Chain A
Protein backbone atom coordinates (compact mmCIF):
# COMPACT_ATOMS: atom_id res chain seq x y z
CA UNK A 1 0.00 0.00 0.00
CA UNK A 2 1.47 3.41 -0.89
CA UNK A 3 1.97 6.08 1.78
CA UNK A 4 -0.22 8.55 -0.05
CA UNK A 5 -2.76 8.76 -2.83
CA UNK A 6 -0.49 10.68 -5.16
CA UNK A 7 -0.58 9.32 -8.72
CA UNK A 8 2.62 11.14 -9.69
CA UNK A 9 5.17 9.19 -11.74
CA UNK A 10 8.68 10.58 -11.52
CA UNK A 11 10.01 11.05 -15.07
CA UNK A 12 12.29 13.60 -16.60
CA UNK A 13 10.27 15.23 -19.36
CA UNK A 14 9.21 18.68 -20.54
CA UNK A 15 5.63 17.96 -19.45
CA UNK A 16 6.76 17.18 -15.91
CA UNK A 17 8.75 20.40 -15.81
CA UNK A 18 5.85 22.60 -16.91
CA UNK A 19 4.49 24.92 -14.28
CA UNK A 20 1.58 23.18 -12.49
CA UNK A 21 -0.79 26.03 -13.30
CA UNK A 22 -0.13 25.54 -17.01
CA UNK A 23 -1.03 21.87 -16.70
CA UNK A 24 -4.08 22.78 -14.64
CA UNK A 25 -5.14 25.19 -17.39
CA UNK A 26 -4.65 22.50 -20.06
CA UNK A 27 -6.72 19.99 -18.09
CA UNK A 28 -9.61 22.29 -17.29
CA UNK A 29 -9.85 23.76 -20.76
CA UNK A 30 -9.90 20.23 -22.21
CA UNK A 31 -12.67 19.18 -19.82
CA UNK A 32 -14.77 22.27 -20.47
CA UNK A 33 -14.31 22.13 -24.24
CA UNK A 34 -15.05 18.40 -24.20
CA UNK A 35 -18.35 18.89 -22.41
CA UNK A 36 -19.46 22.26 -23.73
CA UNK A 37 -17.70 22.57 -27.08
CA UNK A 38 -19.27 21.90 -30.50
CA UNK A 39 -19.32 18.68 -32.48
CA UNK A 40 -20.13 15.04 -31.91
CA UNK A 41 -16.54 13.85 -32.34
CA UNK A 42 -14.91 16.67 -30.34
CA UNK A 43 -14.23 14.72 -27.14
CA UNK A 44 -12.84 11.78 -29.14
CA UNK A 45 -10.57 14.13 -31.09
CA UNK A 46 -9.36 15.89 -27.95
CA UNK A 47 -8.45 12.58 -26.39
CA UNK A 48 -6.64 11.13 -29.40
CA UNK A 49 -5.07 14.29 -30.80
CA UNK A 50 -4.25 16.19 -27.62
CA UNK A 51 -4.21 14.02 -24.50
CA UNK A 52 -2.44 10.97 -25.91
CA UNK A 53 0.36 12.97 -27.60
CA UNK A 54 0.82 15.05 -24.44
CA UNK A 55 1.13 11.89 -22.35
CA UNK A 56 3.75 10.54 -24.76
CA UNK A 57 5.58 13.86 -24.59
CA UNK A 58 5.55 13.45 -20.82
CA UNK A 59 6.96 9.90 -21.10
CA UNK A 60 3.92 8.55 -19.28
CA UNK A 61 2.02 7.25 -22.32
CA UNK A 62 1.52 3.60 -21.30
CA UNK A 63 0.58 4.44 -17.70
CA UNK A 64 -1.78 7.14 -18.89
CA UNK A 65 -3.63 4.85 -21.31
CA UNK A 66 -3.74 1.94 -18.91
CA UNK A 67 -5.19 4.00 -16.07
CA UNK A 68 -7.72 5.81 -18.23
CA UNK A 69 -9.00 2.58 -19.77
CA UNK A 70 -9.16 0.82 -16.42
CA UNK A 71 -11.22 3.63 -14.93
CA UNK A 72 -13.50 4.28 -17.90
CA UNK A 73 -14.14 0.80 -19.32
CA UNK A 74 -16.65 -0.57 -16.77
CA UNK A 75 -18.55 2.71 -16.83
CA UNK A 76 -18.61 2.86 -20.61
CA UNK A 77 -19.90 -0.71 -20.93
CA UNK A 78 -22.72 -0.03 -18.51
CA UNK A 79 -23.61 3.19 -20.32
CA UNK A 80 -23.77 1.41 -23.68
CA UNK A 81 -26.00 -1.34 -22.38
CA UNK A 82 -28.40 0.99 -20.58
CA UNK A 83 -28.56 3.77 -23.15
CA UNK A 84 -28.85 1.58 -26.22
CA UNK A 85 -31.80 -0.19 -24.65
CA UNK A 86 -33.56 2.57 -22.79
CA UNK A 87 -32.60 5.89 -24.41
CA UNK A 88 -35.87 7.85 -24.40
CA UNK A 89 -35.59 9.32 -27.91
CA UNK A 90 -34.67 6.03 -29.55
CA UNK A 91 -36.50 5.23 -32.80
CA UNK A 92 -34.06 3.60 -35.19
CA UNK A 93 -33.98 -0.01 -34.12
CA UNK A 94 -30.68 -1.69 -34.95
CA UNK A 95 -31.59 -5.12 -33.81
CA UNK A 96 -34.16 -6.83 -31.64
CA UNK A 97 -34.21 -9.81 -29.31
CA UNK A 98 -36.93 -11.00 -26.93
CA UNK A 99 -38.49 -7.80 -25.41
CA UNK A 100 -35.37 -5.66 -25.93
CA UNK A 101 -34.39 -3.55 -28.89
CA UNK A 102 -31.10 -1.74 -29.42
CA UNK A 103 -31.62 1.74 -30.82
CA UNK A 104 -29.14 3.79 -32.82
CA UNK A 105 -29.84 7.04 -30.97
CA UNK A 106 -29.07 5.32 -27.67
CA UNK A 107 -25.76 3.98 -28.94
CA UNK A 108 -24.84 7.42 -30.26
CA UNK A 109 -25.74 9.10 -27.00
CA UNK A 110 -23.80 6.53 -25.00
CA UNK A 111 -20.76 7.07 -27.21
CA UNK A 112 -20.96 10.84 -26.74
CA UNK A 113 -21.28 10.59 -22.95
CA UNK A 114 -18.56 7.94 -22.68
CA UNK A 115 -16.05 9.90 -24.75
CA UNK A 116 -16.76 13.08 -22.81
CA UNK A 117 -16.17 11.24 -19.53
CA UNK A 118 -13.04 9.63 -20.96
CA UNK A 119 -11.76 13.05 -22.00
CA UNK A 120 -12.43 14.39 -18.51
CA UNK A 121 -10.79 11.46 -16.72
CA UNK A 122 -7.85 11.62 -19.13
CA UNK A 123 -7.39 15.35 -18.56
CA UNK A 124 -7.33 14.88 -14.78
CA UNK A 125 -4.99 11.90 -15.03
CA UNK A 126 -2.56 13.77 -17.29
CA UNK A 127 -2.28 16.49 -14.65
CA UNK A 128 -2.02 14.13 -11.69
CA UNK A 129 0.40 11.64 -13.29
CA UNK A 130 2.81 14.37 -14.37
CA UNK A 131 2.63 16.72 -11.37
CA UNK A 132 3.79 16.05 -7.84
CA UNK A 133 1.01 17.19 -5.49
CA UNK A 134 3.58 19.04 -3.42
CA UNK A 135 4.67 21.10 -6.44
CA UNK A 136 1.07 21.80 -7.39
CA UNK A 137 0.12 22.92 -3.87
CA UNK A 138 3.24 25.04 -3.41
CA UNK A 139 2.53 26.83 -6.66
CA UNK A 140 -1.14 27.34 -5.87
CA UNK A 141 -0.35 28.70 -2.40
CA UNK A 142 2.19 31.11 -3.89
CA UNK A 143 -0.53 32.34 -6.23
CA UNK A 144 -2.85 33.11 -3.36
CA UNK A 145 -4.85 29.92 -2.80
CA UNK A 146 -5.56 29.61 0.92
CA UNK A 147 -2.95 27.51 2.77
CA UNK A 148 -5.87 26.01 4.70
CA UNK A 149 -7.30 24.62 1.48
CA UNK A 150 -4.01 23.20 0.26
CA UNK A 151 -3.46 21.72 3.71
CA UNK A 152 -6.81 19.93 3.52
CA UNK A 153 -6.00 18.56 0.06
CA UNK A 154 -2.53 17.25 0.87
CA UNK A 155 -3.52 15.86 4.24
CA UNK A 156 -6.49 14.03 2.69
CA UNK A 157 -4.18 12.34 0.19
CA UNK A 158 -2.09 11.03 3.08
CA UNK A 159 -4.86 10.04 5.47
CA UNK A 160 -7.01 7.97 3.13
CA UNK A 161 -4.39 5.24 2.54
CA UNK A 162 -3.82 4.96 6.28
CA UNK A 163 -7.54 4.60 7.00
CA UNK A 164 -7.90 2.24 4.07
CA UNK A 165 -5.14 0.00 5.40
CA UNK A 166 -7.04 -0.32 8.65
CA UNK A 167 -10.32 -0.84 6.80
CA UNK A 168 -8.80 -3.54 4.60
CA UNK A 169 -7.99 -5.54 7.69
CA UNK A 170 -11.66 -5.28 8.63
CA UNK A 171 -12.87 -6.26 5.17
CA UNK A 172 -10.53 -9.24 5.06
CA UNK A 173 -11.87 -10.40 8.39
CA UNK A 174 -15.41 -10.07 7.06
CA UNK A 175 -14.53 -11.92 3.89
CA UNK A 176 -12.89 -14.81 5.66
CA UNK A 177 -16.14 -15.26 7.55
CA UNK A 178 -18.15 -15.01 4.35
CA UNK A 179 -20.07 -12.05 5.73
CA UNK A 180 -20.09 -9.89 2.64
CA UNK A 181 -22.54 -12.08 0.78
CA UNK A 182 -24.25 -14.32 3.29
CA UNK A 183 -26.57 -13.56 6.16
CA UNK A 184 -29.38 -11.06 6.43
CA UNK A 185 -28.79 -7.34 6.01
CA UNK A 186 -29.17 -7.03 9.74
CA UNK A 187 -26.56 -9.69 10.47
CA UNK A 188 -24.11 -8.10 8.06
CA UNK A 189 -24.49 -4.68 9.65
CA UNK A 190 -24.36 -6.19 13.12
CA UNK A 191 -21.06 -7.87 12.36
CA UNK A 192 -19.60 -4.71 10.87
CA UNK A 193 -20.40 -2.13 13.54
CA UNK A 194 -17.98 -3.29 16.24
CA UNK A 195 -15.22 -3.28 13.61
CA UNK A 196 -15.90 0.05 11.91
CA UNK A 197 -16.78 1.87 15.14
CA UNK A 198 -13.27 1.95 16.62
CA UNK A 199 -11.83 2.96 13.24
CA UNK A 200 -14.16 5.96 12.97
CA UNK A 201 -13.98 7.06 16.60
CA UNK A 202 -10.22 6.52 16.81
CA UNK A 203 -9.55 8.72 13.82
CA UNK A 204 -11.94 11.40 15.10
CA UNK A 205 -10.39 11.48 18.57
CA UNK A 206 -6.93 11.95 17.02
CA UNK A 207 -8.16 15.18 15.41
CA UNK A 208 -7.66 17.15 18.62
CA UNK A 209 -4.00 16.23 19.07
CA UNK A 210 -3.28 16.69 15.41
CA UNK A 211 -4.80 20.17 15.53
CA UNK A 212 -2.53 21.00 18.48
CA UNK A 213 0.48 19.71 16.54
CA UNK A 214 -0.48 21.92 13.60
CA UNK A 215 -0.76 25.01 15.81
CA UNK A 216 2.56 24.12 17.46
CA UNK A 217 4.13 24.42 14.00
CA UNK A 218 2.84 27.99 13.74
CA UNK A 219 0.39 27.10 10.97
CA UNK A 220 -1.93 29.89 12.09
CA UNK A 221 0.87 32.49 12.44
CA UNK A 222 -0.19 35.79 10.90
CA UNK A 223 2.88 36.07 8.72
CA UNK A 224 3.57 35.81 5.03
CA UNK A 225 4.45 32.16 4.48
CA UNK A 226 7.51 31.24 2.46
CA UNK A 227 8.19 28.03 0.57
CA UNK A 228 11.10 25.62 0.58
CA UNK A 229 10.48 24.55 -3.00
CA UNK A 230 10.83 26.99 -5.87
CA UNK A 231 8.42 26.24 -8.71
CA UNK A 232 9.65 27.74 -12.00
CA UNK A 233 7.33 29.57 -14.38
CA UNK A 234 7.88 31.55 -17.59
CA UNK A 235 6.32 34.37 -19.60
CA UNK A 236 5.73 31.95 -22.45
CA UNK A 237 3.70 29.63 -20.21
CA UNK A 238 1.70 32.59 -19.01
CA UNK A 239 0.83 33.42 -22.60
CA UNK A 240 -0.16 29.80 -23.23
CA UNK A 241 -2.47 29.88 -20.22
CA UNK A 242 -4.19 33.06 -21.40
CA UNK A 243 -4.48 31.49 -24.84
CA UNK A 244 -6.16 28.41 -23.34
CA UNK A 245 -8.73 30.53 -21.50
CA UNK A 246 -9.56 32.41 -24.71
CA UNK A 247 -9.75 29.16 -26.71
CA UNK A 248 -12.11 27.61 -24.16
CA UNK A 249 -14.40 30.63 -24.27
CA UNK A 250 -14.39 30.64 -28.08
CA UNK A 251 -15.20 26.92 -28.30
CA UNK A 252 -18.09 27.24 -25.86
CA UNK A 253 -19.20 30.35 -27.78
CA UNK A 254 -19.29 28.44 -31.08
CA UNK A 255 -21.49 25.77 -29.50
CA UNK A 256 -23.89 28.32 -27.99
CA UNK A 257 -23.95 30.74 -30.98
CA UNK A 258 -26.74 29.29 -33.12
CA UNK A 259 -28.90 29.11 -30.01
Chain B
Protein backbone atom coordinates (compact mmCIF):
# COMPACT_ATOMS: atom_id res chain seq x y z
CA UNK B 1 0.00 0.00 0.00
CA UNK B 2 1.39 3.41 -0.93
CA UNK B 3 1.63 6.17 1.66
CA UNK B 4 -1.31 8.14 0.30
CA UNK B 5 -3.46 5.01 0.11
CA UNK B 6 -2.50 4.16 3.68
CA UNK B 7 -3.38 7.68 4.76
CA UNK B 8 -6.73 7.46 3.02
CA UNK B 9 -7.47 4.14 4.72
CA UNK B 10 -6.43 5.53 8.12
CA UNK B 11 -8.73 8.52 7.81
CA UNK B 12 -11.91 6.47 7.40
CA UNK B 13 -15.29 7.87 8.42
CA UNK B 14 -14.90 6.09 11.77
CA UNK B 15 -11.59 7.90 12.32
CA UNK B 16 -13.04 11.28 11.33
CA UNK B 17 -15.76 10.88 13.94
CA UNK B 18 -13.40 9.39 16.53
CA UNK B 19 -10.85 12.23 16.48
CA UNK B 20 -13.20 14.96 17.82
CA UNK B 21 -14.38 12.60 20.55
CA UNK B 22 -10.75 11.79 21.42
CA UNK B 23 -9.91 15.50 21.60
CA UNK B 24 -12.87 16.03 23.91
CA UNK B 25 -11.66 13.11 26.06
CA UNK B 26 -8.19 14.68 26.26
CA UNK B 27 -9.54 18.02 27.31
CA UNK B 28 -12.27 16.87 29.67
CA UNK B 29 -10.13 14.28 31.49
CA UNK B 30 -7.16 16.66 31.50
CA UNK B 31 -9.29 19.31 33.18
CA UNK B 32 -10.77 16.94 35.74
CA UNK B 33 -7.31 15.60 36.61
CA UNK B 34 -5.85 19.06 37.05
CA UNK B 35 -8.81 19.97 39.24
CA UNK B 36 -8.20 16.94 41.42
CA UNK B 37 -4.55 17.95 41.78
CA UNK B 38 -3.31 14.50 40.88
CA UNK B 39 0.44 14.24 40.27
CA UNK B 40 -0.08 13.56 36.51
CA UNK B 41 -1.59 15.35 33.50
CA UNK B 42 -3.39 12.50 31.67
CA UNK B 43 -4.32 14.93 28.91
CA UNK B 44 -3.33 12.66 26.01
CA UNK B 45 -5.40 9.52 26.57
CA UNK B 46 -7.52 10.30 23.49
CA UNK B 47 -4.41 10.99 21.41
CA UNK B 48 -2.91 7.61 22.27
CA UNK B 49 -6.28 5.93 21.64
CA UNK B 50 -6.43 7.36 18.12
CA UNK B 51 -2.78 6.48 17.50
CA UNK B 52 -3.54 2.83 18.31
CA UNK B 53 -6.89 2.54 16.48
CA UNK B 54 -6.22 4.74 13.45
CA UNK B 55 -2.45 4.91 13.05
CA UNK B 56 0.36 7.38 13.78
CA UNK B 57 -0.79 10.17 11.46
CA UNK B 58 -4.31 10.32 12.85
CA UNK B 59 -2.75 10.23 16.33
CA UNK B 60 -0.43 13.10 15.48
CA UNK B 61 -3.31 15.19 14.14
CA UNK B 62 -5.36 14.51 17.27
CA UNK B 63 -2.47 15.69 19.43
CA UNK B 64 -1.94 18.91 17.50
CA UNK B 65 -5.63 19.80 17.49
CA UNK B 66 -6.11 19.01 21.18
CA UNK B 67 -3.18 21.19 22.01
CA UNK B 68 -4.39 24.08 19.84
CA UNK B 69 -7.90 24.00 21.25
CA UNK B 70 -6.62 23.70 24.82
CA UNK B 71 -4.31 26.62 24.14
CA UNK B 72 -6.97 28.88 22.69
CA UNK B 73 -9.66 28.20 25.26
CA UNK B 74 -7.96 27.25 28.51
CA UNK B 75 -4.27 28.05 28.68
CA UNK B 76 -2.34 29.79 25.88
CA UNK B 77 0.89 28.44 27.33
CA UNK B 78 -0.06 25.11 25.76
CA UNK B 79 0.19 26.47 22.20
CA UNK B 80 3.98 26.42 21.67
CA UNK B 81 4.06 22.80 22.89
CA UNK B 82 2.06 21.37 20.03
CA UNK B 83 5.04 19.38 18.65
CA UNK B 84 5.06 17.39 21.90
CA UNK B 85 1.42 16.43 21.43
CA UNK B 86 2.13 15.60 17.80
CA UNK B 87 4.93 13.21 18.75
CA UNK B 88 2.85 11.55 21.48
CA UNK B 89 0.22 10.56 18.88
CA UNK B 90 2.85 9.62 16.33
CA UNK B 91 4.93 7.44 18.67
CA UNK B 92 1.81 5.80 20.14
CA UNK B 93 0.77 4.86 16.59
CA UNK B 94 4.23 3.56 15.70
CA UNK B 95 4.39 1.52 18.92
CA UNK B 96 0.98 0.03 18.13
CA UNK B 97 2.18 -0.83 14.60
CA UNK B 98 5.10 -2.63 16.17
CA UNK B 99 2.69 -4.71 18.25
CA UNK B 100 3.43 -2.88 21.49
CA UNK B 101 -0.24 -2.42 22.46
CA UNK B 102 -1.16 -6.09 22.81
CA UNK B 103 -0.34 -6.97 26.41
CA UNK B 104 -0.01 -4.83 29.52
CA UNK B 105 3.77 -5.01 29.87
CA UNK B 106 4.26 -4.09 26.21
CA UNK B 107 1.95 -1.14 26.82
CA UNK B 108 4.25 -0.06 29.65
CA UNK B 109 7.15 -0.14 27.18
CA UNK B 110 5.08 1.97 24.76
CA UNK B 111 4.42 4.43 27.58
CA UNK B 112 8.14 4.69 28.29
CA UNK B 113 8.99 5.18 24.60
CA UNK B 114 6.36 7.90 24.32
CA UNK B 115 7.78 9.50 27.47
CA UNK B 116 11.34 9.52 26.12
CA UNK B 117 10.32 11.17 22.84
CA UNK B 118 8.02 13.62 24.64
CA UNK B 119 10.81 14.53 27.07
CA UNK B 120 13.30 15.21 24.29
CA UNK B 121 10.89 17.29 22.21
CA UNK B 122 9.60 19.27 25.17
CA UNK B 123 13.11 19.94 26.45
CA UNK B 124 14.02 21.34 23.06
CA UNK B 125 11.04 23.71 23.05
CA UNK B 126 11.65 24.57 26.67
CA UNK B 127 15.25 25.64 26.14
CA UNK B 128 14.59 27.42 22.85
CA UNK B 129 11.58 29.36 24.05
CA UNK B 130 11.79 29.74 27.81
CA UNK B 131 15.45 29.26 28.59
CA UNK B 132 14.61 26.31 30.81
CA UNK B 133 12.02 27.88 33.09
CA UNK B 134 8.49 27.34 31.87
CA UNK B 135 5.18 28.17 33.42
CA UNK B 136 4.68 24.77 34.98
CA UNK B 137 5.26 23.52 38.50
CA UNK B 138 8.04 21.13 37.52
CA UNK B 139 10.18 24.17 36.70
CA UNK B 140 10.96 24.50 40.40
CA UNK B 141 12.98 21.31 40.08
CA UNK B 142 14.72 22.55 36.93
CA UNK B 143 15.54 25.79 38.69
CA UNK B 144 16.94 23.86 41.66
CA UNK B 145 19.11 21.71 39.39
CA UNK B 146 20.41 24.78 37.57
CA UNK B 147 21.07 26.57 40.85
CA UNK B 148 23.14 23.57 41.97
CA UNK B 149 25.48 24.11 39.06
CA UNK B 150 24.12 21.92 36.24
CA UNK B 151 23.70 23.19 32.67
CA UNK B 152 20.36 24.33 31.29
CA UNK B 153 19.85 21.44 28.85
CA UNK B 154 20.95 18.88 31.39
CA UNK B 155 18.59 20.25 34.05
CA UNK B 156 15.62 20.47 31.69
CA UNK B 157 16.13 16.94 30.38
CA UNK B 158 16.56 15.57 33.88
CA UNK B 159 13.31 17.19 34.99
CA UNK B 160 11.45 15.87 31.95
CA UNK B 161 12.76 12.37 32.47
CA UNK B 162 11.50 12.43 36.04
CA UNK B 163 8.01 13.72 35.27
CA UNK B 164 7.20 12.27 31.83
CA UNK B 165 7.42 8.48 32.36
CA UNK B 166 4.83 8.29 35.17
CA UNK B 167 2.35 10.33 33.17
CA UNK B 168 2.90 8.63 29.83
CA UNK B 169 2.88 5.07 31.17
CA UNK B 170 -0.38 5.83 33.02
CA UNK B 171 -1.79 7.42 29.84
CA UNK B 172 -0.84 4.44 27.66
CA UNK B 173 -2.27 1.97 30.17
CA UNK B 174 -5.53 3.90 30.50
CA UNK B 175 -5.92 4.10 26.71
CA UNK B 176 -5.27 0.36 26.54
CA UNK B 177 -7.86 -0.35 29.25
CA UNK B 178 -10.42 1.71 27.38
CA UNK B 179 -9.79 -0.22 24.16
CA UNK B 180 -10.03 -3.52 26.09
CA UNK B 181 -13.37 -2.33 27.46
CA UNK B 182 -14.83 -1.81 23.99
CA UNK B 183 -16.49 -4.67 22.14
CA UNK B 184 -14.39 -6.55 19.57
CA UNK B 185 -17.02 -5.90 16.93
CA UNK B 186 -16.78 -2.18 17.56
CA UNK B 187 -12.97 -2.05 17.55
CA UNK B 188 -12.91 -4.02 14.29
CA UNK B 189 -14.46 -0.99 12.49
CA UNK B 190 -11.26 1.01 12.89
CA UNK B 191 -8.53 1.03 10.25
CA UNK B 192 -5.82 -0.31 12.59
CA UNK B 193 -7.99 -2.68 14.61
CA UNK B 194 -5.32 -5.37 14.30
CA UNK B 195 -2.95 -3.23 16.40
CA UNK B 196 -5.16 -3.26 19.47
A152-B65, A155-B17, A163-B24 known; A188+B36 contact, CB < 8 A: yes
Query: For residues 4 through 20 of chain B, which have their beta carbon under 8 Å from a beta carbon of chain A?
Result: 11-14, 16-20
Report which of B29, B73, B129, B152 forms a contact with A5, defined as CB distance below 8 A: B73
Cβ-closest 5 pairs across A and B: A86-B143, A156-B20, A163-B24, A155-B20, A121-B76
The answer to whether A79 and B135 touch across the interface, beta carbons within 8 angstroms, is yes
Bound form: Cα–Cα A192–B174 in Å: 14
Which of these binds chain A: B96-104, B111-119, B178-186? B178-186
The answer to whether A160 and B182 touch across the interface, beta carbons within 8 angstroms, is no
A113-B130, A180-B35, A208-B189 known; A159+B178 contact, CB < 8 A: no
B23 within 8 A of A: yes
The answer to whether B76 and A120 touch across the interface, beta carbons within 8 angstroms, is yes
Chain A contacts for B76, CB-based, 8 A = 71-72, 75, 117, 120-121
Report which of B69, B77, B142, B189 forms a contact with A156, defined as CB distance below 8 A: B69
Query: For residues 184 through 242 of chain A, which have their beta carbon under 8 Å from a beta carbon of chain B?
Result: 185, 188-189, 192, 196, 199-201, 203-208, 210-211, 214-215, 219-220
Chain B contacts for A215, CB-based, 8 A = 13
The answer to whether B32 and A211 touch across the interface, beta carbons within 8 angstroms, is no
The answer to whether A159 and B21 touch across the interface, beta carbons within 8 angstroms, is yes
A82-B139, A163-B24 known; A210+B17 contact, CB < 8 A: yes
A82-B139, A210-B17 known; A88+B35 contact, CB < 8 A: no
B133 within 8 A of A: yes
A91 within 8 A of B: no
Number of interface residues of A (CB under 8 A): 63
Number of interface residues of B (CB under 8 A): 51
Instruction: With CB as the reference atom, state the residue of chain B lying closest to A206.
Output: B21
**Residue picked from B13, B38, B134, B182, most chain A C-beta under 10 Å:** B13
The answer to whether B38 and A189 touch across the interface, beta carbons within 8 angstroms, is yes
The answer to whether B21 and A207 touch across the interface, beta carbons within 8 angstroms, is yes
Chain B contacts for A164, CB-based, 8 A = 24, 27-28, 31
Chain A contacts for B181, CB-based, 8 A = 201
Bound form: Cα–Cα A199–B69 in Å: 20
A156-B69, A200-B178 known; A167+B133 contact, CB < 8 A: no
Residue-wise, chain A 74-113 has the 8 Å CB interface mask toward B (1 for contact) of 0100110011011111000000000000000000010001
Bound form: Cα–Cα A94–B139 in Å: 22
Bound form: Cα–Cα A225–B75 in Å: 36
Chain B contacts for A152, CB-based, 8 A = 16, 19-20, 61, 65
Chain A contacts for B29, CB-based, 8 A = 196, 200
A25 within 8 A of B: no
A86-B133, A88-B146 known; A160+B13 contact, CB < 8 A: no
Residues of A within 8 A of B (CB): 5, 7, 71-72, 75, 78-79, 82-83, 85-89, 109, 113, 117, 120-121, 124-125, 128, 148-149, 151-153, 155-160, 162-164, 167, 170-171, 174, 179-181, 185, 188-189, 192, 196, 199-201, 203-208, 210-211, 214-215, 219-220
B173 to chain A, nearest CB (A): 13
The answer to whether B18 and A88 touch across the interface, beta carbons within 8 angstroms, is no
Chain B contacts for A89, CB-based, 8 A = 131
Bound form: Cα–Cα A199–B25 in Å: 9
A76 to chain B, nearest CB (A): 9
Report which of B24, B35, B133 forms a contact with A83, defined as CB distance below 8 A: B133
A222 to chain B, nearest CB (A): 12
The answer to whether A148 and B11 touch across the interface, beta carbons within 8 angstroms, is yes
Chain A contacts for B80, CB-based, 8 A = 117, 120
Chain B contacts for A179, CB-based, 8 A = 36
B109 within 8 A of A: no
Instruction: With CB as the reference atom, state the residue of chain A lying closest to B136.
Output: A78
Chain B contacts for A151, CB-based, 8 A = 16
The answer to whether B135 and A78 touch across the interface, beta carbons within 8 angstroms, is yes
Chain B contacts for A86, CB-based, 8 A = 132-133, 139, 142-143, 146-147
